[in-house]
Structure 1
Amino acid sequence: MPPFRFRFDSLVDLRSRERDEAGAEVGKALEAIQRINEQVQDIDSQRELIRTAQTHTLHQANVSVDQMLHQGRYDIQLHADQISLQQTLAQLNQELEKRRQKLVTAEAEVKRLERLRETQLAEHRSLEAKQEQAEADDLTSARVLLRRRAMAAQSKETRR
C-alpha cells in the first residue's frame, strides 16, 4: 500500500500561514493600542502638572493673568488631544476585534483541516492493518494447505 499522503497539505500550509499572519496583525493592533494608552497617560500626567502649577500660582502674591491663560489654553489643547486619542483608541479596538475574529476563523480552519488529516491517516492505517492481516491470513492459509498436501503425500507414500 502506498504511504499516506494528505491531499490537502498545501491548503493546510496556506491556512497556517494565514493564521500566523492574522496573529501578527493582532499583535500589531495590540502594540498600537498600547502606544495610544501610553500617550493618554502622558497627557493625563501633563494635565495634572498644569493643575498643580495653577494651584501653586494662585497661592502666590503675584498672579500673572497671561501665565494663567496660557496654562488654561494648554490644558484645553491637551484635553482635545486626549479626546482625539480616545477616539483613535475606540477605532483601534474595533480593528483589533476584527483581527481577532479573523484569527479565530483562521485557527478554526487549520484545526478542521488537521482533524481531517488525522481522520484520513487513521483510516489509512486501518486499511493498512486490514491488508496486512489479509496477507498474513493468506500466508497462513497457504502454509496450512502446503502442510496438508505434504501430509497427504506423505501418508500416500507410507501406505504404499
Structure 2
Amino acid sequence: MAFQFRFDSILALRCRERDEAGREVGKANEAIRRVDEQIRDLQRQRDEIRRLAAGMFQNHGDGNRESPNSHGVSIDRALQQGRYDLQLQAEQIGLRSTKETLLKELQRRRDVLVNAEAEVKRLERLRETQKSEYRYLELQREQAESDDLTTARLIIDRRNRNRSRT
C-alpha cells in the first residue's frame, strides 16, 4: 500500500494560491514601474519647458539682459508655458500619490505571498513527516512479518527434527 497524504488537495490549493499571490506581486511591481515611468516622462517635459522658457530670456552676448518684449518674446506664451508646467507638476503629485497607494498595496500583496508560502511549507513539512512515519511503520510491519516467518520456520524445523528423531 503506497503512502497517500490526506491533505494533498489542500496542498495543491495552497500552491495555486501562492502562485496567484506571486502573480499579484508581479502585477503590482509592473504598475509601480509604469507610474515611475510616467513621473519621469512628466519631469522630462517640465525640464524641456523650463529650458525653452530660459532660452526666451537668454543673454545676447553683451552681458546685458534684454527685455523680453524687445526680441518678440510673448508674455502670453511664457504664461502659457508656466501654466502648463504647473499642470504637469500637479499630474506628478497625483502620480506620486498613486505610487504611494500602489506601494502599500504591493506590501499587502507581499504579505499575502509570504503567508501563502509559509502555509505551503507547513503542509510540505507535514507531508514529509507523515511520509517518514509511514515508512517507519511499514518497515516495522515488514520486520514483524519477517520475524513471524522466521519464527514459523524455526518452529517447523524443530518439529521436523523432533519427528525425525522419533
Q: TM-score, normalised by structure 2?
A: 0.90
Q: CA separation in 2, counterparts of 1:33 and 1:138? A: 69
Match of 1:76 among 83, 86, 89: 86
For 1:45-124, what aligned pairs fall within 5 Å after superposition? Answer: 45-59=44-58, 61-124=71-134
Distance 2:27 2:48 in 1: 32
Alignment of 1:18-57 (within 5 A): 18-57=17-56
Question: Does residue 129 of structure 1 match 2:128?
Answer: no
CA distance in 2, matches of 1:151, 1:64: 126
When the two chains are superposed, the root-mean-square deviation of aligned CA atoms in Å is 1.1
Q: Deviation digits for residues 98-122 of structure 1, max 9, x if unmatched? A: 0110111111111111111111111
Which shows bigger deviation, 72-81 or 57-66?
57-66
Q: Among all aligned residue pairs of Structure 1 and Structure 2, give the percentage whose two residues are the same amino acid.
A: 55
Residue 18 of structure 2 aligns with an amino acid whose one-letter code is: R
Shift of 1:62: 2.8
Question: Which 4+ runs in 1 deviate beyond 6 A?
Answer: none
Q: Secondary structure at the match of 1:77?
A: helix
Mean Cα deviation higher: 141-150 or 34-43: 141-150
| Partners of 1:152 and 1:45 in 2: CA distance | 105
| Runs of 5+ consecutive residues of structure 1 not aligned to the other structure | none
Amino acid at match of 1:89: K
Which moved further from structure 2: 46-55 or 76-85?
Answer: 46-55
Distance 2:118 2:153 in 1: 52
User: For each residue in 1:19-75, what CA deviation from the matched residue of structure 2 results, as whole angstroms up to 9, or x when unmatched?
Assistant: 111111111111100100000010111111111111111127332111111111110
Question: Any stretches of 5+ residues in structure 2 without a counterpart?
Answer: 61-70
| Greater mean deviation of Cα atoms: 25-34 or 81-90 | 25-34
How far did 1:3 drift? Answer: 2.1
Counterpart code for 1:14: L
The whole-number CA distance in structure 1 between the counterparts of 2:161 and 2:36 is: 92
